[in-house]
A and B are shown apart, each in its own frame.
Chain A
């Protein structure tokens, strides 16, 4: 380990750790599904709007997909809160450390995504109005797409960096963290998944009543669905490159047999789903429209479930030794904390007696010295003003005014009256 071991928060987890981890994996899948649809949807919208020059149909298609982005993005954000909460509570030390190490980029997520969201609304609601300013209209979505493509890098940098505490010392700003672990293979795997998931989503949308008002799309839905299936299948094939790339670039520290098993199961279901996609491409007709979309979605969900579990297993393995070290260190530290508390309370009990006013005066000594000016005037001066009038000092201390132009105003003291009186008597009697 190159970096020192920190302490954990000494409060218990709100539920059994295993249960929280299952919640994390499941809620994360729900979140990432809508993120995929949001990112993929914006890419598809831009692509088809660009192609609309050749064919009017693609303009309708782009507009239809744009309608889905603004809904999916709201779901993506709200469903992201649960996994965020869970990762915060389960991996407090590791997640918050990587947040801080990538701090500027981490906080920029907020304004950037808010801007991208506003742009998607602007793009959606100016479709008819800016029909003649195609470049302007497309570039609005273009900027949103750029933001949507950048943000995943920030999240990936964080969930990646948190796994390798021994390399935290290499982090010098966000961009340097992109080189730790395997951020980019993860990124390409994610982008490819976004496109494939969105393509399948669009096939499903063509089947539902949501497309009812889009006559031109319905007329062409077999051609369109075939195109989407081809994209989904092609990208899934590409994942056979990105997937192994991700796996083999993972730092060794978290690799285990169970990880390979989980990934293997995921690949199995994905291959099965791809087989069904290929069948669909061959047999798709308007009367038997997208009949296998449900089994394909179920198989893909299983794939994602296994992949996400594999990812969780890797995280657990990679952090195991550091976690244990943190646990031991926290325990030892808390024992010391208790010991010191006990000792302090004993000292306090012994410290009775002595001049009470003198002791309490310590609260004032930061600003008032015997015969020199510190922040406020010296005691010699105060004693002259309040000679024989300790109550005057008490009254002043509780609600000070401002008498001297070259001194800052004194803050009001909140000690009980009898303490203030003891202090005042000490102040007047000590000369």
Chain B
């Protein structure tokens, strides 16, 4: 509410952040956290059987190039997109977790220096120093994992802040109830995914047949060895997801349209994990896999992870920060004031302060921007018009009906935040939505049309402030 609001009406803001974050998570889990451990293991095998060295180095090369380009930039991209998509949420998180992030940054700098060193000294630290190089690889894997240890605390905090509500300090935020279970899930997931990614590398690099079959079997063992931990981790994690959030699981995994497919989707997940196990087992037994099969585990695991991240993001709704900040970027504490006096009375960048019959639709559009656009578009992905089409079909929409629905929507659709404004504003929003039925007009964000505000608000700086600068 307090920031100029960026909006992508085609892609949707949520999808922007989701695309960047998912890409980052896939790369950081499989190529960095799991990947470095796997490469170090392969390099260690090279101490006894030097043929391993070439496959270890080739795998590292691919992991190194991808993590230090797309991996690094999508990591920064999460910050960039979060500042656009939900500035209040990311700003609040930074205030609470600043030192966690700062320490993470120190670990992260160490990790980058180590990966540069690890890769660039591969051919230099030979002979007696090879053992030290292997050790460097394991240290690097440890540091990669520590970055995950820190960031998972923050992700878990967003779902359930635990006792932070009372104490509002870093430690209580860090030790939230979902933290360790989520870590227990993500760690083996990263390891299994690294195996999937290593199979991809194996598909595309040139190595002799003997090494190929040795590597095929070894990666199979790696995957199969970590899979039970992944199952255990998911079970532990599932136990601590609050009941109210579990109720959203169906929609989270399948979306509203396909909620009836929830059961079959669950079977698909088990099927995918099962087939990863079968593929790993046949790799161990036959020491050989057709390329087409070899690429499957990584694809299945990316799908699984995408689903997990989507449901993690989804089930914490209606909140962006559990119990503190709603997904619409408005604090729970602000609700009583805004529902009484109106959002338009307090949001800085609105052109309308008083709703009149003439300006109702414009006011509704501004309210839509303020309260809906963090998740919904008008014409694109997850559009408000589609949502209401599902409910009312071809029937003519009526502002009063829609307004009445919005008033209680959060009780029926418990992943939706309550409407933060007053009754007049709710009606204006409903009027705007109604106008979209026959005339869905693309909504622009502040990045293209600039700031809108009320001329009366200009030079509202108190006299006492004017002098500060003199």
Seen from chain A, the residues whose Cβ lies within 8 Å of a Cβ on chain B are 1-15, 70-71, 74-75, 77-82, 84-85, 88-89, 92-93, 95-97, 99-104, 106-107, 109-111, 113-114, 117-118, 121, 168-174, 176, 253, 317, 320-321, 324-325, 328, 333, 336-337, 339-341, 343-344, 362-367, 374-375, 402, 406, 408-415
Contact = CB atoms under 8 A, between A and B. Distances in A.
Contact of A340 (B65, B260, B336): B336
B412 A363 contact: yes
22 contacts: A1-B459, A2-B459, A9-B91, A11-B168, A89-B98, A93-B3, A96-B91, A114-B69, A169-B453, A171-B450, A320-B469, A340-B341, A364-B408, A364-B411, A366-B407, A366-B409, A367-B405, A374-B404, A374-B405, A411-B251, A411-B413, A414-B414
A11 to B, nearest CB: 4
B239 interface: no
B69 A121 contact: yes
Contacts of A172: 448-450
B337 interface: yes
Contacts of A6: 2-3, 348-349
B293 interface: no
B250 to A, nearest CB: 8
Interface stretch (B100-108, B177-185, B196-204, B212-220): B100-108
Contact of B453 (A4, A84, A96): A4
A270 to B, nearest CB: 29
Contacts of A100: 3-6, 83-84, 87, 445-447
B186 to A, nearest CB: 21
B76 to A, nearest CB: 6
Interface of B: 2-6, 16, 20, 65, 68-70, 72-74, 76-77, 79-81, 83-84, 87-88, 90-92, 94-96, 98-99, 101-102, 105, 108-109, 112-113, 116, 120, 168, 170, 244, 247, 250-251, 259-260, 331, 333-334, 336-337, 340-341, 346, 348-349, 390-393, 401, 404-409, 411-414, 445-451, 453-454, 457-462, 464-466, 468-469
B4 A109 contact: no
B392 A375 contact: yes
Given A82-B105, A88-B83, A88-B90, A168 B451 contact: yes
Contacts of B413: 411
A15 B3 contact: no
Contacts of B73: 77, 110-111, 113-114, 117
Given A1-B460, A5-B460, A412-B250, 18 more contacts: A4-B453, A77-B76, A85-B79, A100-B3, A101-B4, A113-B73, A114-B74, A117-B68, A118-B70, A320-B468, A321-B461, A321-B469, A333-B346, A341-B336, A362-B411, A363-B408, A366-B412, A406-B393
B68 to A, nearest CB: 5
Decide if the interface of chain B is mainly helix, strand, loop or mixed: helix
B98 A85 contact: yes
Contacts of B80: 99, 106-107, 109-110
A107 B405 contact: no
Contacts of A89: 91, 94-95, 98
A377 to B, nearest CB: 13
Nearest to B450: A172
Given A341-B336, A374-B405, A4 B95 contact: no
Contact of B88 (A9, A12, A344, A410): A9
Contacts of A402: 260
Contacts of B462: 325, 328
A13 B337 contact: no
A170 B390 CA distance: 40
B83 A99 contact: yes
Contacts of A78: 72, 105, 108-109, 112
Pick the 9 closest A-B CB pairs, nearest first: A103-B447, A363-B411, A14-B98, A340-B337, A366-B405, A344-B336, A110-B77, A117-B69, A114-B73
